[in-house]
């Protein structure tokens, strides 16, 4: 394979893979533990600490038993566990629409003060490609459809290069 062909192949693979880098992620809050009263008050901050939330991602709050999720609360109400906000019942899928800080608490009994509370920072975007591509222009529009189109492009490129 010539260096030029190798370069084109590398670019084709990058373009084909690009949408998967920008696809929205759905996070199940607490993973297998779910949304419940945790063993310590930093449980959900520990859960969130290694994750980067981006506009378009979805939080999946799922639980059994008696809990809820209050959305759209302030940091002050999060800190004080004030029972305000829009209270939602399970299962709750919250799409992160705006960047900045978001706070969620359970308003049942003393659950919030026992640690059933989550604070996250939502980033505007993690990717900022210098390569013009449809998914770079509209990252939130990256869907399985555009991915199939890119895979089709890759197939065509491979055919042109090696066919």
Ligand X SMILES: *[C@@H]1O[C@H](CO)[C@@H](O)[C@H](O)[C@H]1NC(C)=O
Distance CA 103, CA 111 (A): 15
Measured CA to CA, the distance from residue 11 to residue 130 in angstroms comes to 13
**Closest CB to ligand X among 25 and 153?**
25
Neighbour-count burial of 104, counting CB atoms closer than 10 A to its CB (0-12 exposed, 13-18 middle, 19+ buried): buried
CA distance 125 to 115: 29
Of 20, 25, 26, 140, the one binding ligand X by CB under 6 A = 26
- Does residue 126 interact with ligand X by CB under 6 A? no
What's the min distance (Å) between Cβ of 97 and ligand X? 6
**Smallest distance, ligand X to C-beta of residue 43, A:** 5
62 contacts which partner out of ligand X, Cu ion, none, CB within 5 to 8 A by kind?
A: ligand X
91: which residues sit within 8 A by CB, 6+ positions away?
60, 61, 62
Binding site for ligand X (CB under 6 A): 26, 28, 39-40, 42-43, 46, 60, 62, 71-72, 86, 91, 93, 97, 99-100, 124-125, 128
């Amino acid at each position: 394979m010539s260096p030029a062909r190798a370069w084109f192949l590398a670019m084709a693979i990058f373009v084909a893979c690009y949408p998967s880098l920008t696809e929205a992620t759905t996070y199940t809050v607490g993973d297998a533990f779910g949304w419940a009263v945790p063993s310590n008050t930093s449980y959900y901050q520990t859960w969130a600490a290694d994750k980067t939330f981006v506009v378009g991602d979805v939080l999946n709050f799922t639980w059994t038993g008696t809990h809820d999720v209050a959305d759209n609360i302030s940091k002050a109400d999060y800190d004080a566990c004030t029972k305000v906000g829009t209270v939602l019942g399970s299962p709750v899928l919250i799409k992160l629409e705006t960047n900045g800080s978001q706070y969620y608490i359970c308003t049942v009994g003393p659950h919030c003060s026992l640690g059933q509370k989550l604070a996250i920072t939502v980033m505007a975007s993690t990717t900022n490609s210098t390569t013009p591509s449809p998914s770079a222009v509209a990252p939130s529009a990256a869907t399985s459809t555009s991915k199939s189109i890119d895979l089709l492009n890759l197939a065509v490129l491979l055919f042109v290069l090696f066919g």
